[in-house]
Amino acid sequence: MNHSPGGRTIRINWFLVGIVSAAVIASILPARGAAVPVVDWAVNILVFLLFLLYGARLEPRETLEGLKHWRLHLTILGCTFVVFPLIGVGMRVLEPWAISPLLYLGLLWLCLVPSTVQSSINFTSIAHGNIPGAIVSATTSNLLGTFITPVLAFFLVSSSSGITISASSILDVLIQILLPFILGQLSRPLTSRLVVEHRKPLKFVDNGVILAVVYSAFSSGMREHIWSMTSIGQLGLTILICLALLALMLWFTWALGGWLRFNRADRIAIQFCGTKKSLATGLPMAAVLFTGQPIGLIVLPLMIFHMSQLIACGWIAGRYRDQWARQHPEDS
């Protein structure tokens, strides 16, 4: 944590620093030779643990209660699995004259993955939005994403890039992500108290798994010489596209909530859940679905978008919190 000249506190997001560091380390010291299967197996085990913990944390009664607000959840899911994919398909006009086929594939993949869970809930909470609605929507997005994302990829990726995704790859995704989640739910009689009491330390487990997956993906990319497959100009353009996509969806989700006459708390949940894209889910899925492809380059747009959304939504959540405090001085 540093202080600016004006006296305001500047918080360093160490998770973002970690993501960039993992990518840089993998670019300089990628896993090679005998280390490759060790890293691959370690990542598979860690991802399994991550979704096991997700399942153990989720209270089924909260989900059932929250599902009553079906208009809110359908709106958020529509943004995640309809609006985003349509934009992804539309961005095909940029390929190959503006961006390479692999970077376009990465942009399309970004548009297909489900929403984040933890950050969607955290930002909604900071902004005094509909927290139960955010919990249910973000979690439902991740659960449905284990089915919807591979199926969307099966049809859209195959038709737009020539890369074939097999049905067995979809089954592999379900085994790696959905199965541990179900086991986590079944384990709740034994683990629910443990995950609640150790909520803060377990957050480091979540972040650590993502950093390990980033290192593995970029190690794979370095072995496949990903940086020789693109240029600085195309990377810069990809960053601009990701920022423009984020800005567009932040505006659209807020405006959509107003058009559909949702209240302020619901509009906040729609904005923060409907614009997020999950690195924790998207990276492992990509590693399974795009076996044999340059994974590091394919997931690069998702990493850029993920880091950008954390920075932008953190700033927006702070503004909403300040607005709420001015309107409710007795509660602030």
For 105, how many CA atoms within 13 A lie in the half-sphere containing its CB? 25
Considering only 59-68, 180-189, 228-237, which range has the smallest mean pLDDT?
59-68
Contact 117, 131 (CB under 8 A): no
Q: What is the pLDDT of residues 230-267, one digit of tens each?
A: 678 888 899 999 999 999 999 999 999 999 999 999 99
Q: Which residue has the tokens 């932040």?
A: 250
Task: Give the architecture (CATH level 2) of 34-322.
Answer: Up-down Bundle (1.20)
Contact 295, 286 (CB under 8 A): yes
Q: Read off the tokens for 292.
A: 């044999």
pTM metric for this prediction: 0.76
Considering only 5-14, 148-157, 227-236, which range has the smallest mean pLDDT?
5-14
Residue 307 pLDDT greater than 50, yes or no: yes
What integer is the mean pLDDT of 142-153? Answer: 84
Mean pLDDT of the chain: 80
pLDDT at residue number 179: 81
Sign of the CA dihedral with 317 first, then 322, 328, and 329 last: positive
What integer is the mean pLDDT of 152-167? Answer: 68
Long-range contacts of 254-263 (CB under 8 A, 24+ apart): 256/75, 256/79, 257/75, 260/71, 260/75, 262/71, 262/72, 262/75
Listed by start position, the domains of the chain span 34-322
Highest mean pLDDT among 124-138, 143-157, 240-254, 278-292: 240-254
- The CA distances from residue 203 to 85, 272, 317, 331, in Å, are 30, 20, 20, 29
In this structure, what is the dihedral angle of CA atoms 205, 210, 213, 215, given to the nearest 10 degrees? -100
Q: What is the pLDDT of residues 83-112, one digit of tens each?
A: 999 999 999 998 878 888 888 999 999 999
- The CA distances from residue 220 to 4, 102, 176, in Å, are 39, 15, 19
Q: What is the pLDDT of residues 274-299, one digit of tens each?
A: 999 988 788 788 877 887 777 778 88
Q: How confident is the model at residue 48 (pLDDT cuts 50, 70, 90)?
A: confident
What integer is the mean pLDDT of 153-178? Answer: 67
